[in-house]
Amino acid sequence: MSEINFEITKKQKAFMDSIAFETLFGGAAGGGKSYGQLLDAFLYAMKYQKSKQIIFRRTFPDLEKSLIRVSLEKYPRNVATYNDSKHVWKFKNGSIFDFGYIDNEKDVYQYQSAEYDVIRFDELTHFTEYMYLYMISRCRGANPYPKGIKSTTNPGGIGHGWVKERFIDVGAPNVIHKCQLTEENKTVSTRIFIPSLLQDNKFLLQSDPDYINRLDNLPKKEREALKYGDWDIFDGKFFTEFKRDVHVIEPFKIPNDWHKYFVMDYGLDMLAGYWIAVDFNKNAYVYREVYQPNLLVSQARDLIKNKTEEDIYMYLAPPDMWNRHKETGKSTADIFAEGGIYLYKTNNDRVQGWKQVKEWLKVYKDEQGCDTAKLKIFNTCSNLIRCIPQLVHDDKNYEDVATEPHEITHAPDALRGFCVYWTQEPIFVPENKELPFELQTDEPDQEVWW
Ligand SMILES: Nc1ncnc2c1ncn2[C@@H]1O[C@H](COP(=O)(O)OP(=O)(O)OP(=O)(O)O)[C@@H](O)[C@H]1O
Ligand SMILES: [Mg+2]
């Protein structure tokens, strides 16, 4: 085997070492993502003889200008040769590395009978979800080699939404998450998102130190995407104050003497409920989530009870929970009360409520000069984190949130109930552990684990 000398960044190493079935290395421009792909493909081909890999760009000119050109510069010819007409690197050990493109969805059928050990996408957000999922079915082989789909991308592009949902919204970055392969296919897949920043790539920073400043000339949306790798870019975004690195935090053990609230938005289409703890400085931490459709009121109530071991200071719910159902004469609040959960009515003034959510999310500097906010969300509350940045202004009332697509409104609606509650009530921060009314249980010092 011939020697090849290279140095890699920490993030490139993480990308190469990933053992997840689906890996996304994504973010700001120039972080070394495409270079990482080519190097990883080369090393894989050398390590696993007769292995098969392919890398996609959306169009052939894109491939030619980027990946093919760089591979021709970097790959040593004594171990592999490039076939220009077939766009494939053939290695002396029998491995192959194809360059492919999928211009439109029908193009995937060209790969109907193909098999690859590793399938790679560069600029994944240029592809549709269908193209990606179809190609997953081509990742197989009768050998023990590690199989996987390895992708690199910047935020933005036609696939921004599904890529974000698939890799960013599933939980914390740099951690492998077990997920269902698709909504219909229950096979478990593993996914990891490795964020990439230009600052990770010392090679580019050294050779072209002004590159980072040139990104300032881009329009705001592109700049946020390419300079900071911001996945929450979205025209008309309602909660512009929401910043994943400020508001989303690693879970920690909530002290027993902080007050805990439960707040929900309930309908047959979705129960979205949140457990929120408030510390002595009036900071709130959303620490647990329930997000489940098709539950009858009593089932929703029992699920909430089962998930609650700690003392809850107050269960908050919107006023429509007090509407009586014609058939039974009972309200949702009555049915909750029958099971020992006494709901407290919040206010349904949407505009006031959203203003309060904005107050809670507002980013300010802490004593160390770092960005912080009054409300933080544990990274385990994935639906709330997914939905807040997707909300947009209502066309007719700028101060309200659009109610479509409906699915993304449940979690923020629940949070709004908590935030608006604080405008109805004098802010109460516990000085002792006594709970105010009958919700008090016999075990106030119970340990709480998440
Ligand atoms: N490990 C490395 N060693 C030497 N040069 C590197 C290395 N990684 C990246 N580079 C160089 O840094 C520059 C940017 O890398 P690359 O094109 O891979 O970034 P990218 O993240 O794909 O950028 P974009 O977001 O624009 O697609 C290129 O000139 C590349 O050759
Ligand atoms: Mg690139």
pLDDT in tens, 167-189: 998 989 999 999 988 877 888 99
Last residue of a domain, one of 228, 243, 276: 228
**CATH code at 300?**
3.30.420.280
Q: Are residues 403 and 293 in the same domain?
A: yes
Interval 421-446 mean pLDDT: 46
Model pTM?
0.63
pLDDT value at position 445? Answer: 34
User: Taking the CB of residue 404, how many other CB atoms lie within 10 A of it?
Assistant: 10
Whether the per-residue pLDDT at 436 is higher than 90: the answer is no
Q: Are residues 169 and 265 in the same domain?
A: no
In terms of residue numbers, what domain contains 153? Answer: 10-228
Last residue of a domain, one of 178, 212, 228: 228
Which tops the pLDDT comparison, 361 or 220? 361
**Residue 437 confidence (pLDDT):** 37
Closest CA to 357 of 252, 247, 449: 247
Give the three-state DSSP class for 307: helix
Same domain as 152, residue 16: yes
Q: What six digits make up the tokens of 304?
A: 């909430």
pLDDT in tens, 119-170: 999 999 989 888 999 999 999 989 999 999 999 999 887 788 889 989 998 9
Domains: count for the chain: 2
Residues 328 and 222 in one domain: no
Tell me if 386 is assigned to some domain.
Answer: yes
pLDDT at residue 389, rounded to an integer: 84
Q: Are residues 51 and 188 in the same domain?
A: yes
* Cβ within 8 Å of residue 161, ≥6 positions away: none
Q: Specify whether 345 is located in the same domain as 394.
A: yes
Report yes or no: 320 and 410 within 8 Å, Cβ to Cβ. Answer: no
- Same domain? For 287 and 359 the reply is yes
| Domain-embedded: residue 60 | yes
Rounded to the nearest whole angstrom, what is the distance from the C-alpha of residue 116 to the centroid of ligand 1?
25
Is the dihedral angle over the CA atoms 259, 260, 265, 266 positive or is it negative? negative
Q: Is residue 138 assigned to a domain?
A: yes
What number is the average pLDDT over the span 254-283?
96
Q: Around Cβ 28, how many Cβ atoms within 10 Å?
A: 24
In-domain check, residue 234:
no
Using one digit for the tens of pLDDT, what is the confidence trace for 62-112? Answer: 999 999 999 999 999 999 999 999 999 999 999 999 999 998 878 898 998
Ligand index nearest the alpha carbon of residue 15? 1
Number of alpha carbons in the 13 Å side-chain half-sphere of residue 110: 11
Q: Tell me which of 65, 75, 203, 218 to substitute to probe ligand 1's pocket, judged by most ligand atoms within 8 Å of the beta carbon.
A: 203
Does 46 lie in the same domain as 127?
A: yes
Where residue 236 falls among pLDDT bands split at 50, 70, 90? low
Q: Which of residues 207, 228, 249 is at a domain's end?
A: 228
Distance CA 215, CA 213 (A): 5
- pLDDT given at position 5: 74
Question: Do 86 and 192 reside in the same domain of the chain?
Answer: yes
Tell me the CA–centroid distance for residue 257 and ligand 1, in Å: 50
Same domain, 314 and 377: yes
Q: How far is the CA of 224 from the centre of ligand 2 (A)?
A: 17
Q: Which residues contact 261 (CB under 8 A, 6 or more apart)?
A: 275, 276, 277, 278, 312, 313, 314, 315, 316, 418, 421
Tell whether 224 and 306 lie within a shared domain. no
Q: Are residues 268 and 162 in the same domain?
A: no
- 3-class secondary-structure state, position 347: coil
CATH code, 144: 3.40.50.300
Ligand nearest to the CA of 12: 1
Taking CA atoms only, the protein residue closest to ligand 1 atom 15 is 32
